[in-house]
């Protein structure tokens, strides 16, 4: 383990940014935290997490897949991709770090999504342990330890120092590249901070949320529950939960007519929308109840059924904070628990 005085953090960022693109969570003009490309003078946010998740780096909201240019009877097919630059994301929280392994199970499974894969290969993830979780946090339910995040390298920060250790080969390379700025040590300080953070986690109101019974074994019982009507009755059918979620991975592919060709792009989609997975006969889910049910069945039942019990949620709490009507996965899980226990 290595350490660096916090007042030297900017120098560390400058050294990293000198070699590759560096992104950190920083406050924007509206006072909200989002990942931004670091430049001299930019400071880390004091917010616990960014409004949008870190999935944007690997799965952006919109992305051009292929261009078609039409000239007379000729159609030229153009791959719009350019070689991706190497980049570092610094300050990713434990929940978002785990979300990448959830997304990997979708995008890196056969057939591999080459757009996603390329970004994953070029990105180095440096995580930052939490010290002040919010009441909306429930990552511990998914076996995530906010005091010991995953990632290529992980950091802890207190008032004096930043502590860093490499986790993967990529992380080793990252730490080696800035080693001249680091001093050895910090094990004791980190252990003390972890102990304090874990004590807060024990006190979190959602820490003991149980997902027992959720998964493929109770699929039909959960699907046919009469509780969905009440849970979904006030749902606005907006895409807020989907778009702030670090693990939601559904997208639509559309053609944009440029006049002399077509730009084929993909963009995030939401199962909450009336035109989601629309086919010749329309949307297979005619009511908001069915759309609402799809989102939570996917995260709590279908995904674990297909991925060795791993849920499609990391407990970041963004949907709890942002849903306009305050309906969310925690309320759904607690209400449906009666069906399976």
Partner 1 sequence: MQEMMLAKAKELLQSGAVQRVLGWQTGEFVYDITPAVFTSAEEMDEKFVYSDFCGNNLSKYLIKESRKEGKILVFLKPCDTYSFNQLIKEHRIVRENVYVVGVPCEGKTDGETLKAKGIKGILGIKAEGDNFVVETLYGEKTIAKADALPERCLNCKSKKHMVYDELLGEEGEVLDSHRFDMVEKLENMTPDERFEFWRGELSRCIRCNACRNVCPACSCEKCVFDNDNSGIAQKAAADSFEEKMFHIIRAFHVAGRCTDCGECSRVCPQNIPLHLLNRKFIKDINTFYGDFQAGEDTESRAPLTNYTKGDVEPSIVYHKGGKN
For binding to partner 1 (CB under 8 A), which residues are involved? 28-32, 34, 48, 51-52, 61-62, 132-136, 200, 203-206, 230, 233-234, 236-240, 242-244, 252, 254, 256, 265, 267-270, 273-275, 278, 320-322, 324-328, 330-331, 334
Closest distance between partner 1 and the C-beta of residue 64, in Å? Answer: 10
Comparing CB distances to partner 1, the nearer of 2 and 273 is 273
Closest distance between partner 1 and the C-beta of residue 90, in Å? Answer: 21
Comparing CB distances to partner 1, the nearer of 76 and 275 is 275
Comparing CB distances to partner 1, the nearer of 29 and 281 is 29
Comparing CB distances to partner 1, the nearer of 124 and 242 is 242
Closest distance between partner 1 and the C-beta of residue 200, in Å? Answer: 6
Comparing CB distances to partner 1, the nearer of 211 and 219 is 211
Helix axis angle for 329-340 and 288-297, nearest 10°, is 80
Closest distance between partner 1 and the C-beta of residue 80, in Å? Answer: 14
- Residue whose C-alpha is closest to residue 245's, from 149, 140, 319: 319
264 and 255 Cβ atoms separated by less than 8 Å: yes
119 and 57 Cβ atoms separated by less than 8 Å: yes
Closest distance between partner 1 and the C-beta of residue 186, in Å? Answer: 24
248 and 313 Cβ atoms separated by less than 8 Å: no
Closest distance between partner 1 and the C-beta of residue 257, in Å? Answer: 9
d(CA 229, CA 293): 9
Comparing CB distances to partner 1, the nearer of 185 and 282 is 282
Residue 77 CA: distances (Å) to CA of 115, 193, 264: 17, 55, 11
Closest distance between partner 1 and the C-beta of residue 65, in Å? Answer: 13
Q: Any bridge partners for residue 189, and if so which? A: none
Q: Where does the chain show beta strands of DSSP type E?
A: 2-5, 21-27, 33-37, 62-71, 74-78, 87-92, 123-128, 153-157, 161-166, 183-184, 251-257, 261-268
Comparing CB distances to partner 1, the nearer of 132 and 195 is 132
Comparing CB distances to partner 1, the nearer of 120 and 318 is 318
- Residue whose C-alpha is closest to residue 213's, from 339, 321, 91: 339
Comparing CB distances to partner 1, the nearer of 108 and 250 is 250
Overall size of the chain counted in residues: 341
d(CA 130, CA 338): 33
* Helix/strand/coil (H/E/C) assignment for every residue in 204-259: CCCCCCCCCCCCHHHHHHHHCCCCHHHHHCCCCCCCHHHHHCCCCCCEEEEEEECC
Residue 13 CA: distances (Å) to CA of 40, 239, 286: 8, 35, 50
Closest distance between partner 1 and the C-beta of residue 281, in Å? Answer: 14
Closest distance between partner 1 and the C-beta of residue 319, in Å? Answer: 10
């Amino acid at each position: 383990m290595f350490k660096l005085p916090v007042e030297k953090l900017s120098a560390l960022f400058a050294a990293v940014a000198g070699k590759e693109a560096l992104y950190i969570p920083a406050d924007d003009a509206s006072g909200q935290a989002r990942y931004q490309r670091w430049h001299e003078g930019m400071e880390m946010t004091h917010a616990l997490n960014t409004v949008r998740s870190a999935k944007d780096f690997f799965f952006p909201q919109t992305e051009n897949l292929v261009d078609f240019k039409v000239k007379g009877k000729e159609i030229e097919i153009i791959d719009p991709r350019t070689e991706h630059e190497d980049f570092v994301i610094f300050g990713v929280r434990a929940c978002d770090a785990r979300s990448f392994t959830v997304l990997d199970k979708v995008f890196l499974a056969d057939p591999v999504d080459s757009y996603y894969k390329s970004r994953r290969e070029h990105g180095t993830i440096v995580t930052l342990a939490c010290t002040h979780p919010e009441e909306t946090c429930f990552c511990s339910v998914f076996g995530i330890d906010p005091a010991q995040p995953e990632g290529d390298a992980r950091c802890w920060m207190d008032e004096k120092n930043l502590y860093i250790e490499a986790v993967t080969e990529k992380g080793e390379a990252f730490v080696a590249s800035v080693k001249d700025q680091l001093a050895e040590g910090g094990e004791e300080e980190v252990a003390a901070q972890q102990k304090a953070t874990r004590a807060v986690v024990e006190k979190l109101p959602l820490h003991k949320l149980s997902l027992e019974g959720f998964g493929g074994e109770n699929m039909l019982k959960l699907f046919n529950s009469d509780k969905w009507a009440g849970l979904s009755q006030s749902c606005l059918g907006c895409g807020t939960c989907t778009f702030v979620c670090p693990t939601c991975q559904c997208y639509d592919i559309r053609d944009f007519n440029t006049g002399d060709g077509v730009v084929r792009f993909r963009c995030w989609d939401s199962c909450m929308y009336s035109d989601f997975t629309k086919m010749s006969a329309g949307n297979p889910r005619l009511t908001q109840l069915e759309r609402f049910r799809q989102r939570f069945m996917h995260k709590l039942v279908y995904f674990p059924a297909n991925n060795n019990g791993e849920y499609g949620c990391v407990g970041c709490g963004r949907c709890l904070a942002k849903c306009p009507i305050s309906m969310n996965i925690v309320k759904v899980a607690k209400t449906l628990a009666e069906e399976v226990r």
